[in-house]
Structure formats: C-alpha cells, structure tokens
Amino acid sequence: MTERPRPERIRCRPGAWWLAVATVCFGAFMGQLDASIVTLTYASLRTEFGAQLAAVEWVSLAYLLTLVALLIPVGRLADAHGRKLFYLYGFVVFTAASAACGLAPSLGALIGFRVLQAAGAAMMQANSVALVATSAPRARMRTALGVQAAAQALGLALGPTVGGALVSTLGWRWVFGVNVPVGVIALVAGHYLLPRTRIRHHAEGFDWPGFALLSAATTAGLLGVSAASGLPVPGWAVAGLFALCAAAAWAFAAHQRRAAAPLLDLSLLRRRAVSSGLVGALCGYLVLFGPLVLVPVVLSQAGYSELTAGAVLTALPAGFALAATTADRLLPPTLTDRGRCLLGAAVCTGTLAALLATPFSPAWLASLLALLGLGLGVFTPANNTLIMGAVPTASSGTGGGLVNMTRGLGTALGVALVTLALHLAPAHAALDGPRWALLVLLTAAAVTVTAAWLSPASGRTQPRQAQR
C-alpha cells in the first residue's frame, strides 16, 4: 500500500518522463479500445443469452455509468494516497475483471463484471492525465498530453476493426480476453517506469454524502439522455430523471461548500482556465463521438456496406492522432495554448458546416472527417494543458478526474444527442435527420470556439517538483 520509486538508473535517464508517458498510454489505449470494441459483441450476446437489445445495451451502459460516477472520487483518493498506487491497482482490477467478463456464464454476470471493470478503468483514467502532467517538464506538457490523446484515438480507431475480427473468428469472449495480456505488460511497466507521487493533498475522511449525490446526478442525467433518445420510456419518467439530476447536482454543490473534507474543491471551477476548459472538453468529445453514430447510419441508408462505413470512420481518429502527435512540430512555437484551442475549434466548426452542405458520399465524408480529426487533435492537447496548468499539483488527480468525467459525459451526449436528432427529425422538414444531427454537432463545435475565446491567455501554471 505504499508507492515505490523507480529504479535509480531509470529515474536518472534524461528521457525518463517519456517512459512514464508511454506507460500511461497503455491505459489510454485500452480504455478507448474497450469503449469502441464492445458494441461489436451485441449480436453475439443476444444470440448466446437469448436477450433483447435493451438488455444487452446494459453491457455498455453499466460500464459508462460506473466510470463517470467514480472518476472524481477516485481522483480525490489518488491525490491523498498516491496516483501511481491507484493507477497500478486499477490495472489489476481492470485486467482481472476483463478475464471474468470473458468467462461470464450469464448476461447478468457479464454486466456485473463490467461494473467491476469500470471501477478499474476509473482508477486508471482518473490518474492518467495527472501522471502525464506531473511527469513531463512544463515546457513539454502539451506534447506529452498530445501523445496520450493520440493513444486514445488509436484505441478508438482500432476498436471496430479488432472487435469485428475477434468476434467473427474467435468469438465475443476474446473481445474481453484481449485486455489480459496487455494489462499484465502495463502492470509490470508501470511498476518500474511510473514516478511515485511527491506532492499529496491529504484530507480527513472520505465525503460519502458527496459521492452519493454526484453518483445520483451523473447517473440520472445519463439515463435521462439515453431514455430521451428513442427508448420506449414514458415522458414523465424522462422528465423525472432530469429533475433528479438537477436536484442532485444542486445538493452536491451545496454540500461541497460546507463539507469538512469535500470530494471536489469548488474553487478549482472558479478558475477560468479550468471551467472554460472543461466546457470545451465536453463539447470536443461530443463532436468526436457523434459522427461514430451518425456516419454508419448515413452510409447504411445510402446502401453502402459496414466495411465501407468502418473505413470512412477511421479517418476521424486517424486525423486526431496525426494532429495530436505532430502539431507541436508543425505549428509556430509562438502560438499559445489558447491560440491552438481557437484554431482547432475553428477548424472543427468550419468542417461541420461543410459537412452540412455537402453530399454524403464516402469520399467527401472521409476527407472532411479527417479534417475534423485534425482540428480536434490540435484543440484537445492544448485545452488539457490549459486545464492542468491551472490545477495545483497536489490536486492533479482531482483535475484529471474532472477532465475524464467531462470526456465521458461528452461521449455519452455525442451518442445520445445524435440518436435523439435522428429519432425526432420531422419527416417532411427541409433538413432530414442526419442534417439535424450535424446541426447539433455544429452547435457544440461553436461552443468550443466560445470556450476557447473565454479562456485566459495562459493558464495559471503551478510549480512542479521533480518526480521520483
């Protein structure tokens, strides 16, 4: 239960921080691979367990609800007890739960193991951004966060391809089994290559009431959005979920102001770089994940195959990964993080406007999705740098948890709002369902431009001590 330092010969290497970033990329890659790969198992799960689609969807929904609810509490605990410790134990839980998912005897057991898997993923994801931010030199933080974002994009891009290959050849159980060898390798690498936490934010006790209120708010909100997206749920139930979300969020904020050891220091949200950055992160991931739902529907309606849809979709995360890893070398070094955010958000907005006005052919879609990915790849690392630069080092885990929670919410909203637009679009309106969905994404992109404009010229940089 104590963090061990890296071996001296590793810690003293000039590029030791790159080894730490590469290790964190294991978790970033696996988290997004798992998020995009599981939907490929739905048909097989329905056949094997004789279940309806509404029941099978809980394999993804239970994971997402648990992950979003746990990110801030786990980040808070990691700030107090050690980020390396929580990250490594997260891999243990995630890997063991993945093996259990692959051996699940029933759909109910699989959903339960997915909840446990999400707990492990939360322990990793809440600390991934914090570990990168505290390992890399301040001057290289944006580059390091870009590499981490590229690893996420790579996992997202490979998910449909790897998932389809595994399900069609070895079966759905290997979709979860593939996590086990990667998890073991990452666990060993993390033990030797990750620095221990040198600055901690100690607090007395754990804010259980705050955790319950935060869980209620996020769960009710995500369930409400999912229910409004076309599920056969009465309107009063959807309204009740949104009311519960609003009431729980208000109660959580009120409780945090008077709690002796609050789960979330609300003063962090009063920093303009943090608040505007989190809004931008949420809308950025909404824009990233919305097309993953929209494009297959559009191309399927036009008579194209799933293989074509998968190839077209790959352009989006590929562009993201390319920009996230090369922007520092190609953009002028004098361009600030705020300037990069504005540039990336403007490219996203212009691209979505072009998509709204162009035909839905594979060539056009692939070209414009690649450009959209480039814009997001420029925006996301710079936006994360502004956020983490404004968060005190002792609260890096909490800040990283906030970033990843907004990513999760943005992911859920991207899927749900596009589905809702397709479901509610008027049959004889001037804009069809896909155009209405693009209009939703365009609005979100415009919000990222506004958030970037409102962010300070540079985040308040906290002094960072060398990590051992």
Give mean pLDDT, residues 249-265: 81
Percentage of the chain beyond pLDDT 70 is 88
pLDDT digits (tens, 9 = 90+) for 398-407: 777 778 778 7
- Give the pLDDT score at 272: 85
CA dist 314 to 134, 158, 311, 318, 320, Å?
32, 8, 5, 6, 10
User: Token digits for 313?
Assistant: 């979709």
Q: Which region among 163-167, 283-287, 288-292 has the lowest average model confidence (pLDDT)?
A: 163-167
CA dist 326 to 134, 294, 331, 333, 385, Å?
22, 28, 9, 12, 16
325: pLDDT strictly greater than 50: yes
Contacts of 155 (CB under 8 A, 6+ apart): 28, 29, 30, 31, 32, 33, 34, 35, 36
Highest mean pLDDT out of 44-58, 124-138, 382-396, 431-445 = 431-445
CA dist 468 to 87, 369, 392, Å?
16, 41, 18
- Give the pLDDT score at 247: 94
Give mean pLDDT, residues 258-270: 76
Q: Which amino acid is at 77?
A: L
- Give the pLDDT score at 346: 96
277: pLDDT strictly greater than 80: yes
Q: How far apart are CA 217 and CA 465, in angstroms?
A: 36
Dihedral, 169, 173, 174, 176 alpha carbons, nearest 10: 150
- Give the pLDDT score at 322: 86
Dihedral sign, CA of 114, 116, 118, 120? negative
Give mean pLDDT, residues 337-360: 92
Dihedral, 363, 365, 367, 371 alpha carbons, nearest 10: 180
- Give the pLDDT score at 231: 63
Smallest CA-to-CA distance from 451 within 375, 341, 348 is with 341
Q: How far apart are CA 278 and CA 275, in angstroms?
A: 5
Q: Which residue has the tokens 């969807």?
A: 57
Supply the mean pLDDT for the chain. 81
Q: How far apart are CA 392 and CA 201, in angstroms?
A: 10
284: pLDDT strictly greater than 60: yes
Q: Which region among 150-159, 264-273, 284-293 has the lowest average model confidence (pLDDT)?
A: 150-159
- Give the pLDDT score at 463: 40
pLDDT digits (tens, 9 = 90+) for 453-465: 988 865 444 444 4
CB atoms within 10 A of CB 183: 25
Give mean pLDDT, residues 88-103: 91
CA atoms within 13 A of residue 346's CA, in its CB half-sphere? 7
Q: Which amino acid is at 416?
A: A
Q: How far apart are CA 329 and CA 398, in angstroms?
A: 30
pLDDT band at 306 (very low <50, low <70, confident <90, very high): low
* 431 vs 213 pLDDT, higher one: 213
CB atoms within 10 A of CB 414: 26
34: pLDDT strictly greater than 80: no
Q: Tell me 231's DSSP state.
A: -
pLDDT digits (tens, 9 = 90+) for 44-87: 888 888 877 667 777 877 888 888 788 878 877 877 777 888 88
Highest mean pLDDT out of 29-43, 185-199, 209-223 = 209-223
10: pLDDT strictly greater than 50: yes
- Give the pLDDT score at 461: 42
Q: How far apart are CA 96 and CA 166, in angstroms?
A: 20
pTM of structure: 0.74
- Give the pLDDT score at 29: 82
- Give the pLDDT score at 460: 42
Q: Tell me 331's DSSP state.
A: S
pLDDT band at 282 (very low <50, low <70, confident <90, very high): very high
pLDDT digits (tens, 9 = 90+) for 193-202: 887 776 556 6
- Got the DSSP string for 257-284? HH-SS-SS-GGGGGSHHHHHHHHHHHHH
Smallest CA-to-CA distance from 442 within 371, 341, 353 is with 353
pLDDT band at 385 (very low <50, low <70, confident <90, very high): confident
- 3-state helix, strand, coil split of the chain in percent (to 5) is 80, 0, 20
229: pLDDT strictly greater than 80: no
User: Token digits for 274?
Assistant: 């943090």
- Give the pLDDT score at 15: 74
Task: Judge contact between 313 and 368, C-beta under 8 A.
Answer: no
Q: Tell me 314's DSSP state.
A: H
